[in-house]
Chain A
Amino acid sequence: MKVLVPVKRVVDYNVKVRVKSDQTGVDIANVKMSMNPFDEIAVEEAMRLKEKGTVSEVVAISCGVAQCQETLRTAMAIGADRGVLVQTDEELQPLAVAKILKGIAEKEQPDLIILGKQAIDDDANQTGQMLAALMGWPQATFASKVEVADGKATVTREIDGGLETLELTLPAIVTTDLRLNEPRYVTLPNIMKSKKKPLETLTPADFGVDVTPRLKTLKVVEPAARSAGIKVPDMAALVDKLKNEAKVV
């Protein structure tokens, strides 16, 4: 069976972004870009299913600027068999990405699509659920365990207050949470190998998708800053401050 894994190129999670002085957005010129961490978990999960023999082919997809090729190469270095880049310089919002992915899914006919639960740039947490709705497929979001057998995926999900388990009839959508797995380190030989793997480039128009943003960003500002307080010498001083100054205990 075939698995699709969409991967997003985002500002690296260690970078503290700066808001542009003209309030039009954050400054991403010359900052390190990486694969969205939750998407890395998604690629890893697909590879583990392949290594178990459940899955025969893993296809990585990325939507965005030409440099998303690098993100696809990373996915292929982890082990994805090939990559598809849907290239555009337009700002892509989750609904547009979900529509592009629907076009790819209809062409590729996968049994499973594994996505990260959210991207760490726009923090939207939408694309997987939107894709599931557009495809009319069942979904299991925020997965911490995935087992695939006999045309079903049994998925344990992180929910408020604990865990729940769902059984989905394939084809289905899974989105990854933090504890699903720990992605492997990419080795140099695998990076070299990834460069020889096929990478197809398409455009949103190939799927008839209008990617015009539906949400207009009017401005982007820094959050209200919180100033550092004081250091206390001991616990007696701390408890005194909490009781008599902050009055919170």
Chain B
Amino acid sequence: MHPVAPVTIAGIGCICSAGLTLEKSMTSLYRGERRPGSPDGFPTHPPGAYPVFEIRDEFFPAWRITEKNVMRTCRLALTAALEAIDNAGLDRDFLKKKRVGVCIGTNVGSCVNNEAFYVSHREGGDPLAAPADRFLMSNPTRVIAAEFWAGGPLQTVVNACSAGGDAIGLAASWIRSGVCDVVIAGGTDELYQVTYTGFKSLLIYDDSPCKPFDANRKGLNLGEGAAIFLLVSEETRKEVHKKPRGFVKGYGSTTDAYHPTKTRPDGLGLKMAIAEAMEAAGVASAEIAFVNAHGTGTWDNDLIESRVLHDMFPQAPFFSTKGYTGHTLGASGAIEAAFTIACLEEGRIPASAGFTTPDPELAPACPVTENCSISGRIALSQTLAFGGNNAVLVLGIEE
């Protein structure tokens, strides 16, 4: 991989339990606010035993959306997409004139998860025979394409927890290669009974608010949300009157080839992904102002991630935002990339929520414990996933 051209981020939208927009989320992060609670959207056994980071406010701007009869994951994505388009100072008419692609990472919102389909059949119902309709109502990529009249490539990335980061990296390559003028890219996921029950079955779900990188960490908490990036070509950028939010400078991805749910102990997969992203961006380790880590609060992830960060970026402060948002699965890579750009703009990173007690096995690599000023215009956002997927984005803002 050789250095590649940076791709312009014209606008960003973000929604999560920390806030219904990117700006509100960042304000909440800097205030150190955390809002874990019992899940409202599905039954739990026993009720409310494990905290989630749920979006409890009404968020969906139905009066601005045509595609209303869609699942919550799609509504989250549409809400963030509208914010991204507004943020770029663009509108639907502008997009209609462009070759627009859509690349979205998700777990819950892919065609595969069609709960209504399975439940109806399971209960002996007599559902209508229109599989395409049923499958596609759950697919945020198709829903966004229909809403914004996108006529270019569509891709729903289902790389588990790295899907949102992967989607942004893949979308950037569509822009570079000239396949698209604009790509609506990001990640989205809602809270879901299958993932909630599944993570509990793996004994990696903390029954208290999660504590990434802490000595007493017990696992993750699930969250929900979406973040959407509006990526544009250099030609299209000339028609955008607002200043770009930033740039996707590099992307790297690998697989651990080790275990379906465990992180490779030597961290080799993550190191290779970081190396690819840095090489693509053409930047050196010393140029990285900070790292927005995956930091789930699970024992293995935090141990291996912290060791890799200490090896590769000994000078760079790092933090996890999972303590503010929960683990939003397919959305996490995109939400954390959005936070990364916002932190670069602000020149400040938030305290790593939930971290109080250093883990001797992680030391001297500890996340920041309070809001910190940073200098520099380039940062790294990384996500690790089931299946051993590692996705790393090198992001920057204008000099």
A, B co-complexed: no
Residue numbers of A with Cβ under 8 A of B are none
Residue numbers of B with Cβ under 8 A of A are none
